Amino acid sequence: MNPRMAPRPLDGRLYTDPAVFGDEMERIFSRMWVCGGRLEELDEPGRFVTREIGGESIVAARTAPPEDDAGSNRPGSSEPGALGINGTPGGATRDLAAFYNVCRHRGARVVDECAGTARVFQCPYHAWTYGLDGRLIGAPHMGNDFDAGSAGLVPVRIGAMDGFFFLSLAADGPPLAEVSADLPDLSRFTLGRLVRGDRHEYEARANWKILCENYNECYHCAVVHPELNRVSDYRNSGNLETGRFFVGGPMTLNGGCNTMTATGQSNRPDLPAIEVADRTSVQYYHVYPNLLISLHRDYVMTHTLWPIEAGRTRIVCEWLFDPDTAAAPGFDPSDAVDFWHLVNSQDWDVCARTQLGVASRGYRPTAYEESEACVQVFDGWYLDQMGL
């Protein structure tokens, strides 16, 4: 089935209206599987993170040691591309659990930290205490008639895929395996095996959709990113690839370049399973709604987008490398990190300019340029999700 292609760029109010933003949080971020980050953040029992999704604070935690390399939550499991997925409402996905950050007593927020390690979670109001899996294990003076078994933290679905964990607030939504089955085959990049080499966090003064649209086209690259354009010309895009849950495709590197750095060169070894064509191209995919993933021959870069309000978005950018490469003496990811930090900063600036423009009564959207097909697909997907 061909994806819906938006006939023209979106109206300005869809980027600026707080009511529209609230509707997006309900129709998109509260119904879909949202990428929470890398499983590496939950690498040991007791490790936890909090995430804001659709206006809700969610706690995700590791409840038991991860399965070893022979376990089924490694690449090549019986669920292709998916690791330890639980499609049932609520509950833990094997050794992971997630739940609303809301005490079952009278609603106080339980966890304040963005990340940490804990043996239990204790509400700071009345000391109700919960296990890492959300079970209520202590409620002072509640008496013998109180049913503690029905008073655990309200669960949120959690699943893992290719080294990422995903969260879904929708109790009756599709399983994560359905998303996984729709995505292109990226197994050659061994995403589940990669480790983080660096991480930058940003805040852009722009709507989350403007950031997605900016990622999904390179029409702006010659003007905004001259350093990038010297490595990969904006006209070198490959075939458009689409699905129910993604859009993207490749871009070819310029002659003499083998990766995305300021020089277009890197001496890092290839990721072990890549194909010959990957040595002269980069794959760019947007996994709806909030994961942007850029796959190079020697590293992978990801952006996860966290909408704050209509005109503000938090972005977490991470650079992932083969663990053997990262463990080698003298490993230095700065050529990739510094290059993309510059590009990121350029992007956030032009996205902020766009946010100012779409808020103007003088904004009159006209037409897409031919190379903006991915933007048309994303905007069409968005209109479908919003019932517009």
pLDDT digits (tens, 9 = 90+) for 215-227: 999 999 999 999 9
Reported confidence tier of residue 64, pLDDT bands at 50, 70, 90: confident
Question: What predicted TM-score, i.e. pTM, was given to this entire model?
Answer: 0.92
Q: Which fold has domain 1-21+185-388?
A: Naphthalene 1,2-dioxygenase Alpha Subunit; Chain A, domain 1 (3.90.380)
DSSP 237: B
Q: Which fold has domain 32-172?
A: Rieske Iron-sulfur Protein (2.102.10)
Q: In this predicted model, which residue has the larger pLDDT, 353 or 68?
A: 353
3-state SS assignment for residue 44 = coil
Strand partners, 144: none
Q: Do 105 and 123 contact (CB within 8 A), yes or no? A: yes
The pLDDT assigned to 79 comes to 30
pLDDT at 148 over 80: yes
Fold match flag (1-21+185-388 vs 32-172)? no
pLDDT at 80 over 90: no
Strands 246-252 and 241-242: antiparallel
For residue 312 the two structure tokens come to 């503000």
pLDDT at 71 over 70: no
The pLDDT assigned to 179 comes to 95
pLDDT at 84 over 80: no
Closest CA to 294 of 348, 231, 340, 256: 340
The pLDDT assigned to 238 comes to 84
d(CA 158, CA 51): 12
d(CA 40, CA 201): 17
Percent of the chain with pLDDT strictly greater than 70: 93
Q: What is the mean pLDDT of residues 309-313?
A: 98
The pLDDT assigned to 239 comes to 86
Reported confidence tier of residue 67, pLDDT bands at 50, 70, 90: low
Name the helix (H) or strand (E) containing 325: helix 323-327
pLDDT at 87 over 80: no
What beta strand segments (E) does 153-299 contain?
Answer: 157-161, 164-168, 195-204, 241-242, 246-252, 281-287, 291-295
Reported confidence tier of residue 65, pLDDT bands at 50, 70, 90: confident
The pLDDT assigned to 11 comes to 98
pLDDT at 295 over 80: yes
d(CA 208, CA 188): 30
Which sequence spans correspond to the domains of the chain?
Answer: 1-21+185-388, 32-172
d(CA 236, CA 178): 32
3-state SS assignment for residue 241 = strand
